[in-house]
Amino acid sequence: MIHLLPLVAAVAVAGASFVVGRSADPRISRARAVGALLAVAVALAVATILVAAAGVAHRPLPAFGLQWELACPDWHAAAPFVYLLVGVLAVALAPAASHPPRTLGDVLRLIAVSTAFVAFESALPLVALWALSVVLLARGLGRVDSGLRRAFLRYQLPGLAFAAVGAGLIAAGRAAEGAVCWLVAIFSREAIAPFHGWLPLVAGRAPLGLLAAFVGPQLGVHAHLALVADAVPHAAAHAFAWAGGVTAVLGAAIGLAQSEARAAIAWIVVSQTGLVAFGLENSSDVGRTGAVLTWQVSAIAVTGFLMTAAALEARRGALSLREPGGSFARTPRMATSFLFLGFASVGLPLTLGFVAEDLLVQGSVDEFPALVFCLLLATALNGINVLRCFFTLFSGKRDHIGEQDLGVRERLALTLAMALLLLGGVFPRAFVPPPARNAGGAPAHDGQPHGGAGAGHGQQGSQR
């Protein structure tokens, strides 16, 4: 099945990327990039509403020998909008010095690839788009440092190979083996231990807008839901869940030992992706929905968090956490958004992150009671890390060191992201996705184990 609307949106963004990449002035280029992404998002929203109103959103449209459908399935309907918002944040807060027009063009291309990714549910196009996104980031890293590109590719190319083998195995009817290959590929892409090393490494030097456009969308989650879910043997699913949980704790712990803001934030991202990976291996609807929501919240909040740090870095230079070096009073909006988005990503009440983590934890406790407490510890440590970064970056200086607060475009993008997270935190029903389907098309059942064997008590949270 191919979903037409996200594909059209992706083509529009890809077209805009060439215009953006050819601008002479980085600021004009950035303004065009933001405008293009917002225009595509609005057009996509209008089109989605219209096709839903006309009742043709999910009507099969056979053409060219393929099955087409206009809109994404309900469980994934928010994904293109999340990706476009990630793109808006990545370009609106991208510092002009580190993000010349060519880099901004690459950011838009990465967003286009991500948006196109959700249009497909079969393995071959997903592998192709996956490879394209790796090439795009590698090209951008190559402009910074060829060693960095080499290191990145050493992690990503084996993952890509696993994805290709997995696609082949699935096509050959060996779903379980193919799913395990895909999981390895997904773990490599999403920086899950032991394949996590590329993310802090790249975050140390890459243009953060480019990194955010690659990491924020977490394409592995879509690949997991479209290809892998419930095809993984039970034991393997549990092993991968543990790997996700260990990554969450490891990322949170190592993050506290960092003395550079980029590295500390990168480890928070590693920890959050670990949480999502853990949740996806859940056999309950509740846990898996929590994972999907955590992924969407993380995409927006972590991108905003990362890009606010990028904007601050452009004003101040390298951001050290060794001693306090800023003033909250001079850049109050930047400080507020940094704190809010950081806490939203780790589940602060009143934000959608709280809902996501509540679902994740409540849905997992029956199947992984010990691991759930480790995840709570990881979340607590991440919260501590967020406040440590905030205090160090926005306190300790009495004098004005010439930093400007957020500009209009930056404020607009951050307001949009924060408003969504806040509205989602207050009225979560509109934002909680319906349970993701299995690979076979049927919804997952509470307490039903992967592959039809093993764990799960069947009792979930409070009874309705």
Partner 1 sequence: MNVVFLQAFVATAVLLPLAAAGVLALAGWFGARLGERAISAVVGVTYATTTFVAAAAAVLGFFDGRPIVVDFGEWFAVGHYAFRWTLLGDALSLPFSVFAAALVGLIGAFSQRYLHREAGFFRFHLMLALFGAGVQVVVLAGGVDQLFFGWEVVGLTSALLIAFFHERPKPVEHGLRAFVTYRLCDIGLIGAAVWLHHAVGTAAFVRLDGAPWAGVHVPDAGSAWIAGLLLLWASMGKSAQAPLGGWLPRAFEGPTPSSAIFYGAISIHLGPYLLLRSAPLLDANPGFAALVAVVGGVTALHGAFVGRVQTDIKCVLAYASMTQVGLILVGIGCGLRHLAVLHIVGHALLRSLEILRSPSLLQDYRHLEQAIGRQVPRPKLALERFFPASLRPWLYRHALERGYFDAILRDHVVGRFLRGFRALDRLDRKFTSWLGGAPATETRR
Segment 139-198, which members bind partner 1 (CB under 8 A)? 145, 147-148, 150-152, 154-155, 194, 197-198
97 binding partner 1? (CB under 8 A): no
Considering beta carbons, is residue 277 or 371 the nearer one to partner 1?
371
Rounded-to-integer distance, Cα 356 and Cα 286, Å: 10
Which position among 102, 205, 234, 316 is part of the footprint of partner 1 (CB under 8 A)? 205
State both tokens at 456. Answer: 């799960």
Helices (H), 54-95: 79-92
Which position among 29, 114, 258, 272 is part of the footprint of partner 1 (CB under 8 A)? 258
Considering beta carbons, is residue 14 or 350 the nearer one to partner 1?
350
265 binding partner 1? (CB under 8 A): no
> Do the Cβ atoms of 299 and 82 come closer than 8 Å?
yes
369 binding partner 1? (CB under 8 A): yes
Transcribe 428-448 into DSSP letters: GGGTSPPPPBPTTSSBP-TTP
Nearest to 124 by CA among 226, 243, 249: 226
Rounded-to-integer distance, Cα 135 and Cα 120, Å: 19
Cα distances from 409 to residues 405, 413, 414, in angstroms, run 12, 6, 9
Which position among 53, 63, 318, 442 is part of the footprint of partner 1 (CB under 8 A)? 318
449 binding partner 1? (CB under 8 A): no
In the sheet where 61-63 sits, what is the strand order? 2-3, 66-69, 61-63
Stretch that binds partner 1, among 39-47, 109-117, 228-236, 251-259 (CB under 8 A): 251-259
Considering beta carbons, is residue 177 or 405 the nearer one to partner 1?
405
Considering beta carbons, is residue 125 or 433 the nearer one to partner 1?
433
397 binding partner 1? (CB under 8 A): yes
Rounded-to-integer distance, Cα 27 and Cα 344, Å: 29
359 binding partner 1? (CB under 8 A): yes
384 binding partner 1? (CB under 8 A): yes
Stretch that binds partner 1, among 91-99, 134-142, 232-240, 279-287 (CB under 8 A): 279-287
Rounded-to-integer distance, Cα 461 and Cα 464, Å: 9
Considering beta carbons, is residue 214 or 394 the nearer one to partner 1?
394
429 binding partner 1? (CB under 8 A): yes
Phi and psi dihedrals of 2, rounded to 5?
-120, 135
